[in-house]
Structure 1
């Protein structure tokens, strides 16, 4: 199977996953923001709320603020303080986010296995 077909199969599986009962309803901006938060956290360089608000490649600051609220309400991210600094909040993925990424990883493996 060619690369394009594998990717299209992956997208089809992701769309099926998005409609599932165990998957929170997130729009594309929220997913992209969650991905950036998770990647930065995994690299041990967590985003601050201020850093996130500057991600104008994703959306405007007002939209990012709404998406952060949405991700918090869905239980996908949390804000934490580091050390004694109580002014800076860092964005971290929750267990629900890790579970979501695990599901996406399984879908990716399935798409490759069916290639």
Structure 2
């Protein structure tokens, strides 16, 4: 019987998650948009309120204008939405229902990858 290494599980997960990209769903994200999506998702998990200004001021993501353009693109693609705050000049970034479903499908891929372990 062949021993399953942790790397085998991870590689199966990558294979399953790549198959998700072939299914009709939300438009693909570029690498910077993926980083922004992960940032927004992690903030949502900790109930942190992340505003457009917060993301644009994150120097690790690049120039504020570039980040703003990516946020606009992600809204148009249906990954994120902007919600009002008590200050009408500030907008909070939230994942759309479709983005949450995408994370649900990725979680299912993780579970399936471990089933053969």
Considering only CA atoms, is the larger Rg found in Structure 1 or Structure 2?
Answer: 2
Secondary structure of the equivalent of 2:27?
coil
1:17–1:23 Cα contact (<8 Å) kept: no
Q: For 1:60, which of 58, 63, 77 is the aligned residue?
A: 63
Matched residue, 1:11? 14
TM-score (norm 2): 0.87
Q: TM-score, normalised by structure 1?
A: 0.88
Length, aligned pairs only: 114
Counterpart of 1:71 in structure 2 is: 74
Structure that is richer in strand per residue? 1
Give the SS at the match of 2:60: coil
- Which aligned segments of 4 or more residues in structure 1 are displaced greater than 2 angstroms? 54-63
Unaligned runs of 5+ in 2: none
Q: Provide the aligned C-alpha RMSD in A.
A: 1.5
The offset of 1:26, in angstroms, is 1.3
Q: Secondary structure at the match of 2:110?
A: helix
Q: Provide the C-alpha distance between the structure 1 equivalents of 2:115 and 2:59, rounded to a whole number of angstroms.
A: 36
Which deviates the most, 105-114 or 52-61? 52-61
Note if contact 1:37-1:91 (Cα within 8 Å) is conserved in structure 2: yes
Shift of 1:20: 1.6
